[in-house]
Amino acid sequence: MGCGVQARTSLMALVEEMPSLAEVRCYDLYPEAARRFVADMGATFPALRFIVCMSAAEAARPADVVVTAVPIVVDPAPTLDGGQLKEGALAYLRSSRAISASWPPVWQPGARATPSASSA
């Protein structure tokens, strides 16, 4: 979620640490930012398949790893709720300020920072 500078550095780290990474699902509030991200990062990582998604949920539902790079604003709207992540998926919140992944405005009720008993 979010296709700016932080998303680019996050993708670079994921490619380094996850050599089997094959698909990157991209979503940004501004579709042009997502298209620009795909053009730039597709040239950098031509072996990856990039998909521009029309919603955060569309990007997150099938993903094993979800990285959000969202700004901190005074009155944010949550990007995802817990039901939009598949069981066992890793979600990482990245922001322009140092905050924890439990920052409430990004994750709606139902999101968990730890695995459920059924997935442990």
Report the amino acid identity of residue 82.
G
35, amino acid identity: R
In this structure, the strands spanning 65-70 and 23-26 are: unpaired
Mean pLDDT, rounded, for 86-115: 50
How many structural domains compose the chain?
1
Tell me whether residue 103 is in a domain.
Answer: no
Q: Which residues lie closer than 8 Å to 2 by C-beta, 6 or more apart?
A: 27, 28, 68, 69, 70
More confident residue, 82 or 9: 9
Query: What's 12's domain CATH number?
Result: 3.40.50.720
Q: At what angle do helices 5-17 and 31-44 cross, to 10 degrees?
A: 40
Residue 115 lies in a domain: no
Query: Which residues form the domain of 77?
Result: 5-95
Q: What is the pLDDT of residues 50-79, one digit of tens each?
A: 999 998 888 888 887 777 776 656 666 656
Assess if residue 71 is contained within a domain: yes
**78 DSSP assignment:** P
pTM of the model: 0.68
- Residue 69: CB atoms within 10 A of its CB come to 21
| Separation between Cα atoms, residue 70 and residue 95, nearest integer Å | 5
